[in-house]
Amino acid sequence: MGIGYDVVWIVNNDTIVKDDALQPLVAMMKARPEVGLVGSYLLNTSDSNLQCAGGVSGIKQLALFKNFLPGRGGLSGWLFGRQLVYLTGASMLVSRRLIDDIGLMEESFFLYFEEAEWQERALAAGYKLAVAPDSKVYHEGSATVGAASPFFYYMYSRSAILYLKKIRKGSPLVTAAWLLLACYLKTRNGACICATFSGIKDGISRSASDWQSQFFTRVNAKLGTEVEQ
């Protein structure tokens, strides 16, 4: 990368960043040279409750991750001292060294799971992940696509299948069945179920359907500008 910086801070467009959110990330990375990515504490924009503080376990074969919420069930502090397996990409500080070693996030994901696959490569290259508790970032989540919209289910299911194919774990067919079942149980919505099926199909074939074009139309309508596809 042709940049003159040691670290890069990646922040989602649906976040509100506190003035003092960056310094704890930098301090954590300086204190632990083995760390390649540092995440923030993500808070709900609606009620300021903790939304996520990294992922410590999950079923990668189904593209499932478990967010860690310190303080729940008397487990405060349990996260720290354990190796993280996942950081939510809404706020991540990334070392220049890591980028030089493993490259950037894979663009074929477009939305969702791009940070998970990137972190898989980072862990495989010997880097560690960390969370800086004093770095607080408010995160709305799914602000552009909508949390329970067909757009969301298409993008999520497509990227979940791509992720499994990239890391070579699990069966896309088993995950496809799980994604369809989860969508049905959560929404009972025909459009969302069809979008999930379309995303699974496009993930397997590594193609993109009209849903992606519709996404850009949606973004342009919100921003009042033309976003390049």
Residue 218 has pLDDT above 50, yes or no: yes
Domains and CATH numbers, the chain: 7-139 (3.90.550.10), 150-223 (no CATH)
Return the pLDDT at 213.
62
Per the CB < 8 A criterion, the answer to whether 148 and 190 are in contact is: no
Q: Which residue has the higher pLDDT, 72 or 7?
A: 7
Per the CB < 8 A criterion, the answer to whether 55 and 145 are in contact is: no
- Any residues with CB less than 8 A from the CB of 201 and at least 6 apart, and which? none
Beta-bridged to residue 64, according to DSSP, are 59
Residue with token string 């990515």: 37
**What count of other Cβ atoms lies within 10 Å of the Cβ of residue 85?**
18
Tokens at residue 63, please?
């593209």
Return the pLDDT at 56.
61
Question: CA distances (Å), 147 to each of 92, 101, 120, 156, 213, in order?
Answer: 22, 34, 25, 10, 19
Rounded Cα gap, residues 142 and 173, in angstroms: 26
Rounded Cα gap, residues 75 and 96, in angstroms: 33
Residue 191 has pLDDT above 50, yes or no: yes
The pTM score is 0.78
pLDDT tens digits, one per residue of 115-174: 989 999 999 999 999 999 999 999 986 656 666 788 889 989 999 999 888 887 667 888
